[in-house]
Chains A and B, each alone.
Chain A
């Protein structure tokens, strides 16, 4: 008569074991839920953190793009209505030709563009007294050459001076590799230049010819640094302008003297 007692005990033990197993399973499920909730919360907070960091990080880039657009508007206003053909800005029949020797990476050239160029354009190019042209040298480094080549592409679209002006406004530190295709596209777009064809022209014979012409003219004139200004009358021989390129009054005086000859 011991079998029924044993069976009852076995049943009790079985029930106890089942209850423990169910409790373990419930505890494991609760732990899994807790982990998933913690993991989800960590992922959500991480995502918010990343978005905030990305917004803060991109604020620099956005500011740069806004500055580029603003420089483009200023350039458009400065050169509005002025004809530009083959890199020559202003009236083709103007008595005096002013040539700027520049390197797009040169910070002093950027300053000259901001300080002196507006006066030259307003008082001499717009009045038909001077026609303006540029020779883009590339002695500072590879970024100068890349920039000068794309500038040649802008020249083909009749927007060399707009391109130069916007580039100067966005100029980076020399030889840091900042003249990337993305940078050039941004500058070109703000200058109203069709960036695709301009960049495509960078490796063309035309661009190579423009660089060679700038080097040859600079060597002939004895240009030893940038910015350097040179003048010529009609189709005559060019000579260096005796003026401080960073002083608009000095440049005006020198141009007036040349015009009075």
Chain B
């Protein structure tokens, strides 16, 4: 895939992740229950102790991370690509941890969280590829 294709794919995946995180954030603050027809574990996960990190909802952290990734994707220079990779790798690692928590500690799977974890995994791969495949000495473009 060309550098331009990698960037376009990253924007598309980040937009999907942003939508998922926005939905979970709205549900969290509304005090509702996510629609979870397939796995039936969303409520357990959403209301568990792991749904917040230092008092901040994990869904909101996801929303902020996806938003920041999209901001880095508005530029195509080396600092922006590195920042994007950093955010995506951190998001991927934390998503992996939360997925492990769902399976091993909560005994419940939230399909929305799985969707977000897939987005972060794809973003991590795409962002690393963007860093490694970028043309040498590429000028800053917006």
> Which residues of A approach B to under 8 Å, CB–CB?
27-28, 31-32, 35-36, 38-39, 42-43, 45-47, 49-50, 53-54, 56-58, 60-61, 64, 172-173, 176-178, 180-183
Contacts and interface: CB of A to CB of B under 8 A. Distances in A.
A56 B53 contact: yes
Interface residues on B, range: 35 or more
Contacts of A43: 85-86, 89
A61 B49 contact: yes
Interface stretch (B3-11, B21-29, B100-108): B100-108
B108 A180 contact: yes
B94 A31 contact: no
Interface stretch (B12-20, B111-119, B129-137): B129-137
B6 to A, nearest CB: 14
B103 to A, nearest CB: 10
A182 B107 contact: yes
B106 A182 contact: yes
A42 B85 contact: yes
Could you tell me the dominant secondary structure of chain A's interface residues?
Answer: helix
Given A38-B78, A50-B97, A64 B49 contact: yes
Given A60-B49, A173-B47, A177-B43, A38 B107 contact: no
21 contacts: A27-B137, A28-B136, A31-B136, A35-B131, A39-B132, A45-B86, A46-B89, A46-B90, A47-B93, A50-B93, A53-B97, A56-B54, A60-B50, A61-B49, A61-B101, A176-B43, A177-B44, A178-B44, A180-B44, A181-B107, A182-B106
Contact of A176 (B47, B54, B93, B131): B47
Given A38-B82, A43-B85, 8 more contacts: A35-B131, A35-B132, A43-B86, A46-B87, A53-B97, A58-B101, A61-B50, A177-B108
A39 B90 contact: no
Nearest to B85: A42
A40 to B, nearest CB: 10
Contact of B86 (A28, A46, A58): A46
B68 interface: no
Given A27-B136, A31-B137, A57 B89 contact: no
A61 B105 contact: yes
A54 B58 CA distance: 12
Contacts, number: 90
Contacts of B97: 50, 53-54, 57
B32 to A, nearest CB: 12
Contacts of B137: 27, 31
A231 B43 CA distance: 39
A22 B137 CA distance: 16
Interface string B80-92: 0011011101100
A31 B87 CA distance: 22
B70 interface: no
Contacts of A35: 78, 131-132, 134
B35 interface: no
A61 B50 CA distance: 8
B122 interface: no
A32 B136 CA distance: 8
Contacts of B98: 57
A143 B83 CA distance: 45
Given A45-B86, A50-B93, A181-B107, A176 B53 contact: no
A53 B95 CA distance: 11
Given A50-B93, A54-B94, A38 B131 contact: yes
